[in-house]
Amino acid sequence: MLDPNFKRAAILLCEHGEEGSVGFIMNKPLDMQIDALVESFPEFDSRVLYGGPVQRDTIHYLHTVGDLLEGSRPVGNGIYWGGDFEKLKFLVTSQLIEPKDIRFFVGYSGWSEGQLDDEMNIGSWVVADMHANYLFNMNAGHIWERAMYNKGDAYTVIANMPDFISWN
């Protein structure tokens, strides 16, 4: 992908259907904390990631505590999307949610009906298995390389290629 929003982006696709698709870029950290971004949020040492170019004035979150946070939707093995924001703030204040349990995103990545399928058909994207460790236990800057490496074969070579060919 040459689009700077998606170049070497590792995206967790959370919704894919007839009406379109929604996902979040997992490997583009922003230099800000959630409590500095959302005025009413309790002090919380959790960085924010750039989720994508759509509605960059919105905040989204993926987490591992779906059993504690009503309204959250399962999107993968042990990964949940959203949930009651007021309850989230209470759980953070009560220290029942720790920074390791949640990732916040500014904006999201979205595709209209059939758009992502078309992009997949022309080879713009590589599909990989999602591991919760990518999102919650790994340095965001290494997710893309690790996901490519884990696919094996030619993808291992791609994972080791420099970002700019002139660096080779």
Please report how many Cα atoms fall inside a 13 Å half-sphere around the Cα of residue 97, on the Cβ side.
27
| pLDDT digits 0-9 by tens, 103-117 | 999 999 999 999 999
Q: How confident is the model at residue 141 (pLDDT cuts 50, 70, 90)?
A: confident
Residues 48-74 have a mean pLDDT of 96
Is 7 or 22 the better-scoring residue by pLDDT?
A: 22
How many folded domains does the chain comprise? Answer: 1
pTM, entire model: 0.90
In a domain, 4, yes or no: no
Does residue 2 lie in a domain region? no
Q: Domain containing 93: what range?
A: 11-167
* Domain of residue 160, CATH code: 3.40.1740.10
Domain membership of residue 5 (yes or no) is no
By percentage, how much of the chain surpasses pLDDT 90? 70
pLDDT, position 30: 96
Residue 122 lies in a domain: yes
In a domain, 41, yes or no: yes
Neighbouring C-beta atoms of residue 134, cutoff 10 Å: 22
In a domain, 37, yes or no: yes
1 domain-assigned: no
SS (H, E, C) 109-133: EEEECCHHHHHHHCCCCCCCCCCHH
Q: Is residue 143 part of a domain?
A: yes
